[in-house]
Every structure is written in structure tokens, then in C-alpha cells.
Structure 1
Amino acid sequence: MRAVFGLGTLTGLAVTCGVVFGLGLLAICYGAVRREAGVARRGLWRRMVGRLPAQWTTRHVVISVTAGVVAGALTAWPVAAVLTTVAMLTLPGLLGPDRGAARRTERMEALATWTEMLRDTLSAAAGLEQAVLATADIAPAALESETQNLAAAIRSGRPLPAALREFADAVDDPLADVVVAALIMAAEEQTSRLGPLLGELAESVREQVAMRQRIDAGRASVRTGVRITVLVTVGMASGLVVFNRPYLDPFNTLTGQGVLAAVGSLFAASFAYLTAIGRLEDPLRLLRTTPPQATPEPDTGGPR
């Protein structure tokens, strides 16, 4: 292929393909950094955009596309531009620390501490609303903003059950839903045994935290294996490109590009599977003020 078209033509073709691919990827990912306003809208496209990873910021996408274009220009392989861009988008989250699990564990511990604070405050003969207001400013840092917003909603005159439901949506954790459900029942039915119930819930949350930490310790070995596999694969491919380029001359042909695309797809599928087996699915939430998918507005003129 190089003999037919020449190295300059192939380089130009690679750059063009990389630029076109990058523009298309930017168009797809544009909604990823603006999706807060679009998730609530109807349509399959909006829901798909809302599922894109949160770390795909504009800067990350631009850097990834630039790296893909450079890789395509240096190798004269259009497929290399695509694979490099995809790798730059996905590998940082795959190789980096599991910040999501650490953040969730921290919030669970904060939830247990705040529940115990509510229990202790209620034992001093304070009402539930007063207990929430008293503990909002001294809640653990992981829940500080959510508890302060809860207190602000109560002070503004919002009913306590509605404010608690908004708090559960802000925390977005199944265990928080259990605690909030108990608080809502106490606010609506004036139960007299809320203190002991909160103590039991706090103990249950701490048990869940301990179990989560044991699970995370087991998942750490899986993530370590994934990192080693990915680093060895990427390092070997990069070393061949830099130090033994003649060995890769068969990929200069159209058939070679097809084989490279197939091999890259297989590696991507294997990396995705390794990531999936190390991921822990969260249980379903009990409370949800905002539905997972926005419901369409009722049409007053149509049939009921």
C-alpha cells in the first residue's frame, strides 16, 4: 500500500481520518459535559449521553483526540488513531484508583456517624426537626453539604418529609434511603422509639461499611491484575512501534489495518470484561423523588 500511494499520501490519509474521527467523537461527547440539563429530557439520545463517564470532560476529550491524531500521523495507520483515542479516553479510569468506591465508603461512614448524632440528640428530649437542625452544622465532612441543604430547606418552611426525600436524592445511596425512610415515618407518625431504631440503623450501616471494605480488598487484587495486563500490552505495542518498526510493516497494508482493528477490538473487549468482573453493582434505592427517566408532561387535550 505504501508503494502504491507513497508515504506522504498515507500520512495525509491517516491525519484526515484522525481529524474526522476526532470531530465525530467531539460531537458525540459534547453532551457528556453538558448532560445535567439534558438528562431530564426525553429521547434515547439524551439517555445515552447521560450514561457517558463523568470523567470525559472537554479537556480530556480534546487531549485524547489530539493524541489519536498524532499517533495516526506518526504511524500512518488510521486504525492507530482510533485505538489511541479510545485508549486515552478509557485507560485512565481503568488504571487509576477506584475513587468511587472510596468515596462511597466514606459517605457510608459519615451516614452512620450522623445517624448516631441524631440518636444522641433525640435522647436529650429534642424533637426530630430540632435534632436535624442541631446536627446539620456538625455533620461529617462527607455529608456536610447535604445536611446543610437539608437544614436550609427546613428553615425555609419546607415540610420535613419532603426535605428528607430531597436529602435522600442528594445523598443517592440505598443505605441513606433506609435511614431517611425511618425518619419520614417518625415525622409523619410521631413514633416514640426512633432513638433505639436509629441506633440499630447506625450499627447496621457500620456493618455494611465493614463488609464493603472487605469486598474492596478482594477487588483490589482484580484491579491490580487488570493494570498489569493493560500496562504489559500497551508497553509491548509501544515498544514495537518505537524500537522495531520493520516488524510491523505488514500492518501498512489495507488487510493489515483490518487485522489491527480486529486485534484492537479483541483487546478492548477483554479489558472491558476485566473491568466488569471487578465492579460491584449497587443495590436499588428505596426512595427516589426524581424518577430515573423523566416522564413526559401530561397532554391535557389527549385521552386519559
Structure 2
Amino acid sequence: VGVTAYGVRPRLRDESPARRWQLPWRENGWQWLRAAGGGVLATAVTGWPVAGLLTLAGVVALPRLLGRDKQAEARTGKLEAVAVWAEMLRDTLSAAAGLEQAIVATAPVAPLALREETARLAAVIEDGRPLGEALRTFADDVDDATCDMVTAALVLAAEHQARQLAPLLGQLALSTREQVTMRLKTEAGRGRVRTSVRVITCTTLGMAVGLVLLNRSYLAPYTTAEGQVVLAGVGGLFSLAFWWLMKIATLEEESRVLKGARPGVAAR
């Protein structure tokens, strides 16, 4: 229980460029080390090999199910950033600025979720790269279906002289904000499900730990081979239920429009 709680709790991360590439490996490595340590500890305390395996699986899977959905939060934040940036471009274009000038002008003040990508886009535009190619590279950098819609409108305007770009960007920003509102409502419903899962999981784990520590004689049947098989079956049912909850709580993202749209990528 303690190891699982340690895995669930939020932790501050060092996002400096020198360490960012190391974070995924370090996080996964420490997670598996904690899981292995929890499994060995559970086996040593109870004497049940199945308890060690279930603890290992719990330490790996439960933090994702019981903790905050960071991927969904990042996706919502990116949607909001796309809407704000589209409105910035719309307002800048309405002031009689060209498309390239509008992109370069809005890049330094773009929302944080998009600032790094917009800064790279502005840099390649200032280096003289064709605007359409630079926008397709930008779309691959962001890797978001909603941002693809905004970028596709910019590509059409850059390569085919599309008219009414500013009103189109305004409509795209409005639809993106509607998506954000819908996702926030969905997340509120998922939050209630997660709370119920936390209560059930903590109650079950607390009762199991209490029986192990205070009433070992009640669990004596599990020390036999048949008892271990039964324990594995119970643990398998819980694992199946948690997997199903995780599956129904995951939102499927729409497919991208400009995926692999760069000339070099398409040719490969």
C-alpha cells in the first residue's frame, strides 16, 4: 500500500533541457524498481508468491488509474493554446499584416503549451524556408488533430491565396473552445468514477493489510497451493475490472489531417 501510494503522489519534475531526454527512462526505471521492491516485500511478509505478483502489477498499473490523468490535462491545455493562438493570428491579420509577419509576431507571445513549437516555426520562416513546408513541419511538431485544422487553413492561405482567412481562424478558435468545454465536462464525469475507484481500492487494500497484520489465522487457507490459485483468480478478477475501468475512461483522439504531409515524409 505504501509503495502504491508513493507511486500515486504528485512529484515535481526538472524540465530543464539538459535532463528532459532522461526523464522518460528514469521514470519508467524507478517505477519498475518500486514495483519489484513492493513485490519482494509482499512476498516476504505474507509468504505468498501470488501476493508478490499482484503487488508488482498494482504498483505499475494503479498510479495511472487512481492518479491524475496527465495526458488528458495536457491535451486540454494544448486545445486551449491552439484556440488562443488562432485568435492571435486572426487579430494580427485583421490589422493588415501578412501571414508570415503574423506568425512571427505572435510566436513570442503564444501560449506556453505551443510557445516552443511556434518559436521554431518563426525561426524557420525567418531563415527563408517556404511557408507551406514550415507549416507542415510545425504540424508534425505539435502532433495534434485540432492544430492540424488551423495549420491546414494557413497552408491553403500560403499556397493558394485563400481568402477570408481571419474569419475562418475565428471559427476554428470557437469550435476549439467548444471542444475544450466538452472535454472539461467529460473529465468531471470521469473524476467521479475515479473517486469511486479510489474508495473501493483503498477499502479493499486496507482490509487485506489489516487481515495480514491482525488476523493471519483467517488467511491460513491461502498458504496452500489451492489457496494461491484462488488468490490468483481473485486478483485476476480485480485486474480485469481495473483494466476495463481504465479502458472506458480513456478518450479516443481523432486522427490527424496533416500527418506525414511534409514532402519528404510523404515520399518516404
Q: CA deviation at 1:54?
A: 8.7
- Matches of 2:244 and 2:158, distance apart in 1: 46
Q: CA deviation at 1:153?
A: 2.2
User: Mapping of 1:11-30 within 5 angstroms?
Assistant: none
Q: Is the CA contact (8 Å cut-off) linking 1:115 and 1:202 kept in structure 2?
A: yes
- Matches of 1:248 and 1:156, distance apart in 2: 71
1:109 match = 80
1:234 match = 205
Evaluate the alpha carbon distance shift between residue 88 and residue 167 of structure 1 in structure 2; reply closer, same or farther with a 3 A threshold. Answer: same
3-state DSSP of counterpart to 1:137: helix
**For residue 206 of structure 1, what is the amino acid of its counterpart?**
R
- Matches of 1:54 and 1:272, distance apart in 2: 24
- Off by >3 Å, runs of 4+ in structure 1: 53-56
Structure with the higher fraction of residues in helix conformation: 2
Q: Deviations over 1:236-284 (max 9, x none)?
A: 2122112211111111111111111111111000111122222221112
Equivalenced residue count is 243
* Match status 1:215 vs 2:186: yes
Q: Deviations over 1:88-129 (max 9, x none)?
A: 111111111122222211111111110000011111221111
Q: CA deviation at 1:156?
A: 2.9
Q: Of the candidates 133, 148, 155, which is equivalent to residue 119 of structure 2?
A: 148
Identity %: 52
User: Mapping of 1:1-304 within 5 angstroms?
Assistant: 57-289=28-260
Relative to the length of structure 2, the TM-score reads 0.84
- Matches of 1:55 and 1:187, distance apart in 2: 42
Q: Is the CA contact (8 Å cut-off) linking 1:230 and 1:271 kept in structure 2?
A: no
Structure index of larger Rg: 1
3-state DSSP of counterpart to 2:109: coil
Q: Is the CA contact (8 Å cut-off) linking 2:136 and 2:261 kept in structure 1?
A: no
Runs of at least 5 residues in structure 2 that lack an aligned partner in the other structure: 1-20
- Matches of 1:185 and 1:54, distance apart in 2: 40
- Matches of 1:227 and 1:107, distance apart in 2: 28
Evaluate the alpha carbon distance shift between residue 55 and residue 177 of structure 1 in structure 2; reply closer, same or farther with a 3 A threshold. Answer: farther
Question: RMSD between aligned alpha carbons?
Answer: 2.2
3-state DSSP of counterpart to 2:154: helix
Q: Is the CA contact (8 Å cut-off) linking 1:56 and 1:89 kept in structure 2?
A: no
Q: Is the CA contact (8 Å cut-off) linking 1:146 and 1:171 kept in structure 2?
A: yes
Q: CA deviation at 1:158?
A: 2.5
**For residue 28 of structure 2, what is the amino acid of its counterpart?**
T
Runs of at least 5 residues in structure 1 that lack an aligned partner in the other structure: 1-35, 37-52, 298-304
3-state DSSP of counterpart to 1:126: coil
